[in-house]
Amino acid sequence: MENWITYLLLIGVVLSGGLLVFFLKEKITGSLKFLLAFSGAFMLGIAALHLIPEVYAEHQTYIGIYVLLGFLIQLILEYFSQGIEHGHIHAHKNASSKFFAPILISLCIHAFLEGLPLANESLGHNHSHGFVHSDEHSFLISILLHKFPIAITLMTLFVKSNVKMKKAFFLLIIFSLMAPLGNFVAVYYMDFFQENGNIMNKILAIVVGMFLHISTTILFETDESHKFNLAKLLLIISGGYVAYLVA
């Protein structure tokens, strides 16, 4: 897939999620937990079936440490993002920029890191360099599926906090550009990453750890509604099955 198509998809899925909040409002917010359940199961499936085998295929010593590091990094990032990755909304009316800064920064760091391994298609399509397989887009799909509910949650937070529309979309655009920026940086330093392939494999291992933290947190969160728990179970099974088909 050409880089510009990847960029358009990454930016478009975030902006479309934000637009839906304005057009559908509470309807789309009410569906958020279902979107998260499916995307969480899909992410876990892709991590187990595709990404974990990918990082361990390099036979690097202590690569598992980087997976655990990614898990820890995501734990720290979510301390500042207040759990937006899981659909948590802690709105404060007329909140200042200081309230949104740590949330946006943590989301941007996460997006930038997961955008780096997406540069595989511009880096020779070589598995030995530790990049995600070029003939499979499961990694990109998992990112898109997760960014969509994050964008909905983030825009809902802006709306409930009485943020002006122009400012809300400006901040959303900044977030949407981070994964493409990570992709661009990896492409720009193509020679460096090709000559030091182990570096990218370690970055991918960190992203895998981040995926594991996000997906397991989503899946293990409970709800008082038994009806939702049944729907969530079906969505988890569906997400896992689709991941199996894609991977």
Angle at 43 between CA 40 and CA 47, to 5 degrees: 140
Q: Round to whole Å and give the CA distance between 154 and 178.
A: 15
What would the pLDDT profile of 141-151 be if each residue is shown by its tens digit?
A: 999 999 999 99
Cα distances (angstroms) measured from residue 56 to each of 63, 82, 152, 204, 225: 7, 32, 34, 10, 39
CB atoms within 10 A of CB 165: 11
Spatial contact of 41 and 207, defined as CB atoms under 8 Å apart? no
Range of the domain at 63: 3-246
Q: What is the pTM of this model?
A: 0.85
Cβ of 9: how many Cβ atoms within 10 Å? 19
Nearest to 104 by CA among 42, 175, 186: 175
Model confidence over 123-138: pLDDT tens digits?
444 444 445 444 458 8
Q: Is the pLDDT of residue 53 over 70?
A: yes
pLDDT reported for residue 92:
65
pLDDT for the residue numbered 134: 40
- Count of domains forming the chain: 1
The whole-number pLDDT of residue 227 equals: 53
1: pLDDT strictly greater than 60? no
Dihedral sign computed on CA atoms, order 214, 145, 28, 224: negative
